[in-house]
Amino acid sequence: MRGMPASPRRMPFFRKLFIALLCVGAVGFCWWLSARNAGEKAATAPPADLSRQSVAQLLGGLILLSPDQVVTAPEVDGFQWPCGAPTGAMIYDAQPFGAMNQKRHGHHTGKDLNGIGGQNTDLGEPVCAAGRGLVVYSGVPSDEWGNVVVLAHRIPGEKGIVQTLYAHLNTREARVGQFVSRGQRIGSIGTANGKYLAHLHFEAIRSLSTEAGMRGYHPAGTMNRTDPAELIRRYPAPPVPDPYSEVRRIRIREALMQDTSVPPVPIPGAKEGFIPVKPQQFLTP
């Protein structure tokens, strides 16, 4: 009818749907952006309760190897048994790798090597490097462990570092930073100051951290440990002494001979063409 106002046109359904979806998307984007910013702040902000004590509890006995230690760890020519005979004679395994120890509530992470006489008959017997290596730990991480030496090795053709750990020693005869040959004496069998009968706790570890002082038994299994017997079986040492130390001494003496900071010592009566002698070449590295 004339004179009556026209009724308003209704908004199409699809336009309403589009606007609703646009609003939902905008709200969702704002929520995501807020959550991301909060996460970045939490990641960059230091924990409020990160005290020196909590860091020590977090890291335990872990000591990260330095880049220098990683690259200078020598390649092995094989592994041998560290006590008794190099082939494993004259010793027995009192507690095998991976064995469950109910008293300790965990799996054994190494091997307990005893002399065939049992008891304390092997107290003070030599402990030798299972393979040529770099000493990355030498000390007493805890009373339970006693004297411990850890060597770092590289296996030809493999990535990463393999460590061998020698625990409960009576004496330590290796210092951190020292290079040792396979079969070189690094200590003697002990009792961890009388806590156990004399034996060598021997571990093989694939890690970039020295783990001296970490648990010798673990409820979750053997962790990053490798069965030392399997390591020796896969990479057996040749039946000859390791010439590594002697070759290294020769190389050090050659380097000292090239040192121009100290003049050579004149040799009385030396004929022309004789090699001049420097006192450094006779120093034991």
What are the tens digits of pLDDT across the range 200-230?
999 999 988 887 776 656 655 557 788 999 9
Q: What is the DSSP letter of 84?
A: S
Q: With contact defined as beta carbons under 8 Å apart, do 156 and 75 qualify?
A: yes
What pLDDT does 32 receive? 67
> Position of tokens 């469950």?
100
Cβ count near 257 (within 10 Å)? 14
Q: Can you tell me the distance from the alpha carbon of 284 to that of 231, in angstroms, rounded to the nearest whole number?
A: 32
What pLDDT does 80 receive? 96
What pLDDT does 189 receive? 95
What pLDDT does 220 receive? 59
What pLDDT does 43 receive? 44
The contacts of residue 7 (CB under 8 Å, 6+ apart) are none
Transcribe 139-194 into DSSP letters. Answer: E---TTT-EEEEEEEB-TT--S-EEEEEEEEEEE---TT-EE-TT-EEEEEB-TTT
Just give the CATH number of 63-234. Answer: 2.70.70.10
What pLDDT does 73 receive? 94
pLDDT less than 50: residues of the chain: 1, 41-60, 281-282, 284-285
Q: Can you tell me the distance from the alpha carbon of 18 to that of 31, in angstroms, rounded to the nearest whole number?
A: 20
pTM check: above 0.75: no
> Position of tokens 């020519």?
77
**Encoding tokens for residue 18?**
């589009």
Q: Can you tell me the distance from the alpha carbon of 85 to that of 120, in angstroms, rounded to the nearest whole number?
A: 18
Structural domain boundaries in the chain: 63-234, 244-267+274-282
Q: Can you tell me the distance from the alpha carbon of 38 to that of 168, in angstroms, rounded to the nearest whole number?
A: 49
Strands of the chain, DSSP E: 63-64, 91-95, 100-101, 106-108, 111-115, 126-128, 133-139, 147-153, 162-172, 179-180, 185-189, 200-206, 209-210, 217-218, 225-226
Q: With contact defined as beta carbons under 8 Å apart, do 204 and 228 qualify?
A: yes
